[in-house]
C-alpha cells in the first residue's frame, strides 16, 4: 500500500476531512489534497507530523520509506517516528534483531540512504 493511500485511508477512518487534518498539522487543505495524490514532494518533517497526527501504524517500515530516500540529517526524524509508535517501540525492545533486519532490508532495497552524500 502506498503512503498516499495509507494517509487517506486512516484520515477517512478517523472521520477527518482534509481541512481538519490540515488544521491539526498546520497546513492548508490543498496541501493535504496534494499529499494524498502524490506524497513524493512532501518534506519528511511534514510527513512525520501527518503520520503522528493520524497515529499510522508504522510497524511495516517499507510502508513509510517506500517513496522516500532519507538524507543523513533526517535519520533522527526517522528514529523519532519509529519510536513514536508504542507497539513498534516494544518490538524494538523485545525483538531488536528482527527490527534491525527490517531496517537493513529497507536500506539494501534503496529505500534508506544514510550516506554523507547530498
- pLDDT (tens digit, 0 to 9) for every residue of the chain, 118 residues total? 677 888 899 899 999 999 999 999 999 999 999 999 987 778 877 887 888 888 876 654 455 555 555 554 566 667 777 777 777 778 777 887 877 777 777 777 766 665 544 3
CATH code for the domain of 55: 1.10.260
Q: What is the pTM of this model?
A: 0.54
On whether residue 85 sits in a domain, the answer given is yes
Tell me how far apart the alpha carbons of residues 83 and 5 are, in angstroms, rounded to a whole number: 22
Expressed as residue numbers, the domain containing 83 is: 3-108
On whether residue 114 sits in a domain, the answer given is no
On whether residue 116 sits in a domain, the answer given is no
Q: Which residues pair with 112 in a beta bridge?
A: 70
Domain count, the chain: 1
Collapsed DSSP state (helix, strand, coil) of residue 58:
coil
- Contact between residue 69 and residue 26 where contact means Cβ atoms under 8 Å apart: no
Amino acid at each position: 500500500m502506498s503512503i498516499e493511500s495509507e494517509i487517506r485511508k486512516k484520515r477517512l477512518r478517523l472521520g477527518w476531512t482534509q481541512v481538519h487534518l490540515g488544521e491539526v498539522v498546520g497546513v492548508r487543505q490543498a496541501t493535504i489534497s496534494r499529499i494524498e495524490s502524490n506524497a513524493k514532494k512532501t518534506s519528511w518533517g511534514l510527513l512525520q507530523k501527518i503520520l503522528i497526527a493520524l497515529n499510522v501504524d508504522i510497524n511495516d517500515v517499507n510502508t513509510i520509506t517506500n517513496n522516500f530516500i532519507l538524507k543523513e540529517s533526517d535519520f533522527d526524524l526517522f528514529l523519532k517516528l519509529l519510536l513514536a509508535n508504542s507497539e513498534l517501540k516494544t518490538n524494538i525492545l523485545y525483538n531488536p534483531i528482527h527490527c534491525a533486519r527490517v531496517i537493513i532490508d529497507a536500506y539494501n532495497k534503496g529505500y534508506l540512504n544514510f550516506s554523507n552524500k547530498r
